[in-house]
Structure 1
């Protein structure tokens, strides 16, 4: 709560500078991953959920909603979140809070290496929230907004599914290595923007305190990418707001509706690829791996995550994929 309370002054002063510098009103602020808590490390899943998880209707979201309401802007971020439907679990959740103070979008990370995912309990999750909860898009007065969590920017299917539902801007909360060289995530951000004719607004941490890693290991390269794949703004290292730019949703919509070779979204043929994905589903990681024989969620030990991946690799090798 203290961390959240400190955000308002920083966002407010940043907005004053940006509006004086650029003239356009600030309508969206994207915050980095691990802003409220660091990563779980070796802490058990139930213990971390208890110690660090935000409740969906909890005081943390109310406090963030108060900032959004007082400042009249959208706030996007990422947190670990508990869920009454899945006791002892947590999900890494990207959220968007509207100027009304309400959370209007909640995206739970689907591809996670060492944490539970909705895919691990997919049948129960869809029963609880419906299929639309997997790839949510929020229709707002500043455009159709979606969220991509951290490392998921590397996976084109996540962004594509959101684009199929109309997403025009991806809010990307991340914690990653910053470098003057092009990193994998840098390349992916530009690719996701161009592939889907969408903006990517990506916020990186300015270091992670209190861990064994050197403080500035994840720092720098917060950026905004245009639908063309070109950088509009990019920050250096340190705590900063300097990755800011003007977003022109009206122009984006004109471009999406224009027949052209570079209209990559309109040229897609999903039906062409669907059989290949369907055929591969049995070879790659299956869903519901954290549901017991009785259909109830079962919390895994952390060692199980590596075991699951080893099993997938064995299947891929046997199938001749790798």
Structure 2
């Protein structure tokens, strides 16, 4: 098998897992998962749409939750179409907030939330969102809880990208979460099913090389760096976070991830969470677009808003990455120095696989108990000093 055939096989395997990856080949090159139906656009407009989340937590059953989800999609459709009219035909990419269809589990167990709120991999919701893409002629990135038949009872938090034909071209499963299942928690089984390359998918499109990051993962530089090293140029950040006029940790991180990776960060926050126990404005405001020099190009205030739209200059980004100099830190990385450090483990993998290697659904206490054991081990080994 030659290298081209090997790349093709890798990409087909990625598609089966719902993702397109850009793995490094044996020759040290990046193999591109492509969605190149037309000539690349050097510049276009993108929008971090700050929309309210109508929660499904108070819905009595899955039927009520699905009705609420459909209503949310219909409302967002109107917001996208009107935003397209306001911004103009150059609007080609829209990013939606984290769990915009449902909100997040509050008192619900993992099993109960999966049964009530998780959409299916081939669910009607993707078709409804795809039709918005077709009608508005946009690429759309969103985030949802999604069930997986390979892991019964569990759901993954998925960032997805649909192209302007309505086709799902990327599925990224959140890798780091405090209270939700991730591929890392079932890592051995997950890689058996979907392959190593499904962990960090990137897709090449006329809008540049796109990848997605979920919520607090923006605080973990390794996630964005892994995507950038697979070619990502535009990081689509679906978030639902506490916003403030002061710099928050996530807000600092957005600028840092953009600068250190010479990449755009398009970050969409919720415009409030409604019909839930949490105060509605707790996650509201400060959706933004950060350019590849770490500068904020557009930012929304509070409430539902399409103010966070700005030009994406892919040609400028590529010129910056290709220009030698002190400030091109992306090309100055010396990864070999850190190999031994990152070869170790902090939070262990496979904590949701039983002794036979099969997934199980844990209680909520599982996450804090696991973290407590990690802290104790780090203390015992001297990484963390005793209080």
Query: Could you say which TM-score interval applies, normalised by the shorter chain?
Result: over 0.9
Report SS of the residue matched to 1:246. Answer: strand
Shift of 1:15: 1.4
Distance 1:96 1:130 in 2: 20
Alignment partner for residue 37 of structure 1, among 102, 120, 125?
A: 102
What residue in structure 2 maps to residue 315 of structure 1? 377
Report SS of the residue matched to 1:165. Answer: coil
* 1:37–1:52 CA contact under 8 A, matched in 2: yes
What residue in structure 2 maps to residue 17 of structure 1? 86
1:4 aligns with 2:73: yes
**Residues 219-254 of structure 1: CA distance to partner in whole angstroms, max 9, x if unpaired?**
110000011001101110010010000001011111
What residue in structure 2 maps to residue 300 of structure 1? 362
* TM-score in terms of structure 2 length: 0.80
Taking the TM superposition and a 5 Å limit, the aligned residue runs for 1:269-284 are 269-278=334-343, 280-281=344-345, 284=346
1:190 aligns with 2:255: yes
Shift of 1:304: 0.7
Distance 1:27 1:96 in 2: 13
Shift of 1:16: 1.1
* 1:42–1:302 CA contact under 8 A, matched in 2: no
* 1:195–1:265 CA contact under 8 A, matched in 2: yes
Poorly superposed stretches of 4+, deviation over 6 Å: none
Distance 1:241 1:318 in 2: 50
The number of aligned residues is 315
CA RMSD of aligned residues (A): 0.9
Distance 2:210 2:373 in 1: 36
Alignment partner for residue 204 of structure 2, among 136, 139, 142?
A: 139
Distance 2:329 2:121 in 1: 36
What residue in structure 2 maps to residue 127 of structure 1? 192
Gaps of 5+ in 1: none
Report SS of the residue matched to 1:266. Answer: helix
Shift of 1:100: 1.5
Distance 1:105 1:269 in 2: 29
Alignment partner for residue 161 of structure 1, among 222, 226, 231?
A: 226
Taking the TM superposition and a 5 Å limit, the aligned residue runs for 1:1-322 are 1-19=70-88, 25-278=90-343, 280-281=344-345, 284-322=346-384
Distance 2:242 2:379 in 1: 31
* 2:218–2:254 CA contact under 8 A, matched in 1: yes
Gaps of 5+ in 2: 1-69
* TM-score in terms of structure 1 length: 0.96
Shift of 1:42: 2.5
* 2:154–2:181 CA contact under 8 A, matched in 1: yes
- Of stretches 160-169 and 1-10 in structure 1, the one that deviates more from structure 2 is 1-10
Shift of 1:272: 1.2
Higher relative contact order structure (alpha carbons within 8 Å, sequence separation ≥ 6): 2
